[in-house]
Amino acid sequence: MVCIVSGLPGLAFVLLLASFVSSRPVQRDLAADRESHFLQRAKLIDEETKLRIGSTTTLTPPESTLDYIMMREKRLIMDESRTNRSAYLPAYSFHQSKAYIENTTIYKIIKRMPKGAALHLHDLAITSLNWVVKNVTYRDNVYMYYDDKGFVRLGAFDTPPADNPWKLVKSQRAAAADQDIFDEDIRKSISMLSNDPLVTYPTISLVWDRFNLYFGQVIGLLFNADIMRDYYRQALVEFKEDNVQYIELRGQLRGFSELNGTTHDAEFGADLYKDVTDTFVRENPDFFGAKIIMSGLRYKPQTDILDEVKSAMALRQKYPNFFAGYDLVGQEDPNYPLSYYIDALLYPENTLPYFFHAAETKWQETEVDYNLVDAILLNTTRVGHGYGLAKHPKMSSLMKERNIAVEVNPISNQLLGLVNDLRNHPMAVLMADGFPVVISSDDPATWEAAPLSHDFFMAFMDLSGRDTGLGFLKQLALNSIEYSAMSSDEKIQAIALWQTKWDTFIREVIAELTSGQIVGR
Amino acid sequence: MVCIVSGLPGLAFVLLLASFVSSRPVQRDLAADRESHFLQRAKLIDEETKLRIGSTTTLTPPESTLDYIMMREKRLIMDESRTNRSAYLPAYSFHQSKAYIENTTIYKIIKRMPKGAALHLHDLAITSLNWVVKNVTYRDNVYMYYDDKGFVRLGAFDTPPADNPWKLVKSQRAAAADQDIFDEDIRKSISMLSNDPLVTYPTISLVWDRFNLYFGQVIGLLFNADIMRDYYRQALVEFKEDNVQYIELRGQLRGFSELNGTTHDAEFGADLYKDVTDTFVRENPDFFGAKIIMSGLRYKPQTDILDEVKSAMALRQKYPNFFAGYDLVGQEDPNYPLSYYIDALLYPENTLPYFFHAAETKWQETEVDYNLVDAILLNTTRVGHGYGLAKHPKMSSLMKERNIAVEVNPISNQLLGLVNDLRNHPMAVLMADGFPVVISSDDPATWEAAPLSHDFFMAFMDLSGRDTGLGFLKQLALNSIEYSAMSSDEKIQAIALWQTKWDTFIREVIAELTSGQIVGR
């Protein structure tokens, strides 16, 4: 490189540079500066790490072994993508990542892990579509038609209504050229996953339309009391298989019907869930149970919500150990805020626990966002989603102080249009600061996710960092019991049950990893 | 609805409900409860609002008038999208939103607004492509060719090198069927915007390849000293036209060349920028000026960086009022972290101000993320991007305590693949809690954004809430001076200059809005 220094300024510069260099000690103690820098660096990082969820959770020596293995796998995937410039699939749309995820060692470990409880679930979207197709649609009295947009609609009746071209599924299947393809077509037509919602439905409202359509497709089946009894039982089977020990379920409760059209009230619904739960727990003593959260629809008239609140108060009195409380559900953005129903919600004077959805939105400082404030003032036990919470420093510090956990549903938030790359999920910010969080799956059947394992995978790979390992997952499992609606006694029992399963899991999974029985990606 | 209550449990439930209702006072004071709820609600929201950037910035009566108008426009756009279920274009990819934005009343106001300073800019991407094509490529000695992927490459030489099929632009243009189309093809071939990077380049690395390609396309022109002199002068013209009063510019400084291939050192580069700035300020006394931040490339050997640091120390001594300090630039994820260069960066023993890029990443707890820690320990004056900062509660509280501002570049972060919907930008979380932030535009020419107005628009519509108005923008303008590298005296002068312009802006823009001279969307 030819260097041109022209005129006096340049000369002055050279002289200045020379004088500057010569005025320094020839040998400075750079080694000491460097050591001091890296000591302070380590101290700061350590202080911060201690704030993160799970960072202070103690690990036994075998747990540390598994921690080492999981961190190694996590770092491999992250570093490969970061430094080798390849796509980071764990943060991609679940549509694109599902198959990849299921083949990773980390997923295989998480699947086996006793995850405690799933606390944010909706009763019409918790059992695999595969079971619905292969079991429910094989029954007598189940009818179907494809609507004008080509989506299948299902219903169970003695006699189908004349409003649509209902046909018996049995006869349609018998007439089909290939019964497997016939079944597969039904499943694909119900699943949101068959059309990647991030691409197919570019606005959040279009995604919600598709999401609501799912409920329209299956409600004619699932509001049948007999079918729901089996559907819910099968949900418990599948959650147990996915190594979940306990669930809390939101449901409308009223409206279950018989084939002849007779419909039932909310007490019937509560009884239905309670009977199935009790029987299941009797038959499966290593499953801890379930509680129900009655859920109104946030577009109903105020008088309806007051009626529901009163009904919920009575059910809470009748089933104090099973009926956990009340919530309002449905897309928050275009519908009524909690403040619209304030008379109804104040009515119980703190005798009815609430579990409010709040701020499932990207709209900062809107009435949807401020559902958080009403939820806090109404002494909500937990907050569902709380996607907007991180932008509310006052509310988040209040909630942390009062130990109000947020139910985070990563895949739901992604597929319902809140966030594409899950590393941008705003709850990751609060989780890095030890905010009380539980991970759940919202409506896993809708997008064919596992009952809880895929969401736990996302939490591990996207909502926490490269140095965050098994302690994080262990703490999330413990949180799920701690922040549940269980009584103190129930929590002690549930933790004992979970701990036994956890110890077995640690022992077995390490043995299997060591012997090569678990091999991923 | 037929309600079936069967057997004793149902009967008990009815009795229980009756007794429950009758045990309540017939008339409870719901009105008082409601009033108390809404009072507490307003108090909490008010306490929180006070934390947000700009919420405590005082507004004069005319400013309050403009605040009212801007909030009305903002709420119209937000509410229309939220409740009427339409797309929210201000948070979409800039590629899709640019034309829409420019037609809004809010943008037209922001464009006119004196925005203070732009503190995060790179010297090779600050002047409109239109000017490059219509001015620079019309000069003698400017050559071009289209590479094997169809991207135009430009260079200025006495004699073009034989390495590529260089042809004189002048002759090519003369031979073209349509000169306007010829020019337009060059512009489109350089602009990242002509291919929406969010769609065309699905991974962050592919986006960065395209981004780096931009520099490859123009560097052969812009490293020519004569062209750079005019290019930088034109940048100042365009920033001034966009109502920016001052800039801080990152540049390599060394490597500027003559047509014959002679190249220059960093002092030459510093002189070039200083001369142009001084002349421009003399000719435009209502433009406050510029300072330069020397920038090394974060993939260079450690010895190169040490040489640059020494050179930067000398330049800082030579031009204490113009040469602000040193930074390392280039994609952080795959390149060396600050800690790799620690010996070089410790060398000045706090005599050289730093302005480090840090955590321009979604990778939590990686060495890229921890560039934040090194930056803080090296007493960085500001942090460039700090995209990952919100997930570092310790680092963010330290930075807030030490008043280290983050330079946020919304459109850059979006187009370089960090976040699609800008409402998910993590700095919105810290901004809601009063974190020191300045808004800048990084490389606006690359994606054909205005010097600063589009980024200010994004900050207003996406990084703040529905109830956040003019105070926020006023505070961002004030922040840009407060957190600049100006001396206290310079800041006082710069604020005085800005205030005069601001008062005129308020007066004029209200008059124009009132008389219908500004009409948007």
Q: Does B330 touch chain A (CB under 8 A)?
A: no
Q: Does B433 touch chain A (CB under 8 A)?
A: yes
Please give the Cα distance from B294 to B318 (Å, whole number): 14
β-strand partners of A385: A358
Q: Does B43 touch chain A (CB under 8 A)?
A: no
In chain A, DSSP finds a helix count (H) and a strand count (E) of 21, 11
CA distances from B75 to A410, B80, B88, B465 (A): 29, 8, 12, 9
CA distances from B464 to A450, B46, B123, B426 (A): 36, 16, 29, 11
For tokens 């001369």, the residue is B275
**DSSP character string of B164-212:** S--EEHHHHHHHSS-HHHHHHHHHHHH-STTS-HHHH--SHHHHHHHHH
β-strand partners of B323: B292
Cβ-based burial of A254 (10 A; exposed 0-12, middle 13-18, buried ≥19): buried
Cross-chain residue pair B318–A16, CB shorter than 8 Å: yes
Query: Quick one: tokens of A520?
Result: 């991923």
Give the pLDDT confidence score for residue A203 in this predicted structure.
83
Q: List, for residues A380-426, the tens digit of each pLDDT value.
A: 999 999 999 999 999 999 999 999 999 999 999 999 999 999 999 99
Task: Give the H or E element holding residue B270.
Answer: helix B266-283
Sign of CA dihedral A278, A283, A285, A286: negative
B152-156, strands of its sheet edge to edge:
B152-156, B142-146, B167-168
**DSSP character string of B23-88:** TS-SS--HHHHHHHHHHHHHHHHHHHHTTSTTTT----HHHHHHHHHHHHHHHHHHHHHHHHT---
C-alpha distance from A204 to closest chain B C-alpha (Å):
8
Cβ-based neighbours of B129, under 8 Å, separated by 6 or more? B187, B190, B191, B445, B448
Strand B246-251, strand B289-297: pairing: parallel
Mean of the pLDDT values across residues A96-108?
A: 96
Q: Which of B41, B366, B468 sits opposite A82 (nearest CB)?
A: B366
C-alpha distance from A414 to closest chain B C-alpha (Å):
12
Give the pLDDT confidence score for residue A11 in this predicted structure.
42
Give the pLDDT confidence score for residue B24 in this predicted structure.
52
pLDDT band at B354 (very low <50, low <70, confident <90, very high): very high
B83 C-beta neighbours (distance < 10 Å), count: 16
Percent of chain B with pLDDT over 90: 88
Query: Quick one: tokens of A242?
Result: 């996915």
pLDDT band at B51 (very low <50, low <70, confident <90, very high): very high
DSSP label at B287?
S
For tokens 């299921």, the residue is A102
3-state helix, strand, coil in chain A (%, to 5): 55, 10, 35
For tokens 């008389």, the residue is B515
Cβ-based neighbours of B361, under 8 Å, separated by 6 or more? B332, B333, B368, B369, B387, B388, B418
pLDDT band at B208 (very low <50, low <70, confident <90, very high): very high
Cross-chain residue pair A395–B263, CB shorter than 8 Å: no
Q: List, for residues A298-350, the tens digit of each pLDDT value.
A: 999 999 999 999 999 999 999 999 999 999 999 998 899 999 999 999 999 99
Whether the predicted pLDDT of A25 surpasses 70: no
Q: Does B432 touch chain A (CB under 8 A)?
A: yes
DSSP label at A90?
G
Give the pLDDT confidence score for residue B521 in this predicted structure.
67
- What is the overall mean pLDDT for chain B? 93
Please give the Cα distance from B6 to A145 (Å, whole number): 34
Cβ-based neighbours of B181, under 8 Å, separated by 6 or more? none
Q: Does A368 touch chain B (CB under 8 A)?
A: yes
Whether the predicted pLDDT of A5 surpasses 50: no
Q: Does B397 touch chain A (CB under 8 A)?
A: no
Please give the Cα distance from B139 to B221 (Å, whole number): 11
Specify whether the CB–CB gap between B257 and B264 falls below 8 A: yes
Task: Give the H or E element holding residue B273.
Answer: helix B266-283
Cβ-based burial of B237 (10 A; exposed 0-12, middle 13-18, buried ≥19): middle
Give the pLDDT confidence score for residue B18 in this predicted structure.
44
Cross-chain residue pair A85–B205, CB shorter than 8 Å: yes
Whether the predicted pLDDT of B377 surpasses 80: yes
- What is the overall mean pLDDT for chain A? 93
Mean of the pLDDT values across residues A129-154?
A: 97
B246-251, strands of its sheet edge to edge:
B117-122, B246-251, B289-297, B323-329
3-state helix, strand, coil in chain B (%, to 5): 55, 10, 35
pTM here is 0.93
Cross-chain residue pair B362–A5, CB shorter than 8 Å: no
Whether the predicted pLDDT of B345 surpasses 80: yes
Please give the Cα distance from A517 to B17 (Å, whole number): 57
Specify whether the CB–CB gap between B374 and B411 falls below 8 A: no
Give the pLDDT confidence score for residue A29 in this predicted structure.
87
A159 C-beta neighbours (distance < 10 Å), count: 11
CA B443 to chain centre: 8
Percent of chain B with pLDDT over 70: 95
Whether the predicted pLDDT of A189 surpasses 80: yes
In total, the C-beta contacts within 8 angstroms joining chain A to chain B are 248
ipTM of the complex: 0.93
Cross-chain residue pair B16–A362, CB shorter than 8 Å: no
Mean of the pLDDT values across residues B333-359?
A: 96
Q: List, for residues A431-485, the tens digit of each pLDDT value.
A: 999 999 999 999 999 999 999 999 999 999 999 999 999 999 999 999 999 999 9
pLDDT band at B196 (very low <50, low <70, confident <90, very high): confident
Catalytic positions of B, written as ranges:
360, 385
Whole-number CA gyration radius for chain B: 27
Specify whether the CB–CB gap between B131 and B241 falls below 8 A: no
Percent of chain A with pLDDT over 90: 88
Q: Which of A175, A422, A44 is nearest to B369 (CA)?
A: A44
A117-122, strands of its sheet edge to edge:
A117-122, A246-251, A289-297, A323-329
Query: Quick one: tokens of A397?
Result: 């510090």
> For residue A5, which residues of chain B lie inside 8 Å, CB to CB?
265, 267
pLDDT band at A85 (very low <50, low <70, confident <90, very high): confident
- B residues 71..90 contacting A (CB < 8 A): 78-79, 82-87
Whether the predicted pLDDT of A14 surpasses 60: no
B357-358, strands of its sheet edge to edge:
B357-358, B382-385, B405-408, B437-439
Burial B34-50 (b: 16+ CB within 10 A, else e): eeebeeebeebbeebbe
Q: What are phi and psi of B225, to 5 degrees?
A: -60, -40
Mean of the pLDDT values across residues A481-493?
A: 98
Give the pLDDT confidence score for residue B27 in this predicted structure.
61
A445 C-beta neighbours (distance < 10 Å), count: 27
Give the pLDDT confidence score for residue A12 in this predicted structure.
44
Q: Which of B1, B86, B433 sits opposite A393 (nearest CB)?
A: B433
Please give the Cα distance from B477 to B506 (Å, whole number): 14
For tokens 């009952």, the residue is A451
For tokens 């019907």, the residue is A257
Please give the Cα distance from B355 to B440 (Å, whole number): 14
Q: List, for residues B133-168, the tens digit of each pLDDT value.
A: 999 999 999 999 999 999 999 999 999 999 999 999
Q: List, for residues B448-488, the tens digit of each pLDDT value.
A: 999 999 999 999 999 999 999 999 999 999 999 999 999 99
> For residue A269, which residues of chain B lie inside 8 Å, CB to CB?
none
Please give the Cα distance from A376 to B404 (Å, whole number): 33
Give the pLDDT confidence score for residue A15 in this predicted structure.
43
Q: List, for residues A234-277, the tens digit of each pLDDT value.
A: 999 999 999 999 999 999 999 999 999 999 999 999 999 999 99
CA atoms within 13 A on the CB side of A11: 3
